[in-house]
Amino acid sequence: MMNIEDIQDAINKISLYDDESYFEKIYTAYYNKLLRLSLSIVKSEEIAEEIYDDVMMNIWEKRKQLSHINNFTVYLYVSIKNASLRYLSRSSKISNVDINDITIEIEDMSPTAQEQMIALEFMEKINTTISQLSPQCKLVFKLVKEDGLKYKEVAEILDISIKNVEYHMGNALKKISTTISSDFKLLLTK
């Protein structure tokens, strides 16, 4: 992911000079994370790719106004979320979409081959714990921990309060911590 200064520099070059090379950098930098978000909503990789392309095409078409966007990352996440939900509404697959019905795949957090077997067991326990979280809690955890978004950004994207984001993160971290500490105690007694 590009840092904030790189993103702002790219946005300025796109907005002021119609620089396609910087647009490609933005497109590539956000692709995986935003595609996963859309995929978690529409459940089709092909459609998620179309949605991502449509949102990015819209960004390119409105490039002269990009400098007026306060937080480009949040703007993109909200755009992808809204476009994905609009797709579901239009396709009449789901008439009312509830954020709790959205499932999210957490990136595989398995250790590399060089890491010890204990680390593998811990990661399996953590992934199991994460998979047992509520859909909203899992989505908040993914956006904060995997995508690196701030609580305020997640609150804006999901249209919930910052306190709600804090609650979900606290809940997720507490459950993961409980899993790790109980397993760690078992390892010490072996």
pLDDT in tens, 49-91: 999 999 999 999 999 998 888 889 999 999 999 999 999 888 8
Q: Indicate the number of domains in the chain.
A: 2
Q: Which tokens hold the place of 100?
A: 């709790």
Checking if the pLDDT of 118 tops 90, the result is no
Residues 83 and 113 in one domain: no
One domain, residues 68 and 43: yes
Give φ, ψ of 111 to 5 degrees.
Answer: -75, 165
Reported as a pLDDT band with limits 50, 70 and 90, residue 4 is confident
More confident residue, 124 or 186: 124
pTM (global) more than 0.75: no
Range of the domain at 105: 100-189
Smallest CA-to-CA distance from 53 within 30, 21, 71 is with: 30
Average pLDDT score, the chain: 84
> Is the pLDDT at 120 greater than 50, yes or no?
yes
Band the pLDDT of 187: cuts 50, 70, 90: low
CB atoms within 10 A of CB 156: 18
pLDDT at 113 over 60: no
| Chosen domain end from 71, 97, 123 | 97
Of the residues 80, 97, 114, which one is the last residue of a structural domain? 97
How far apart (Å, rounded) are the C-alpha atoms in residues 14 and 62? 10
CATH code (residue 57): 1.10.1740
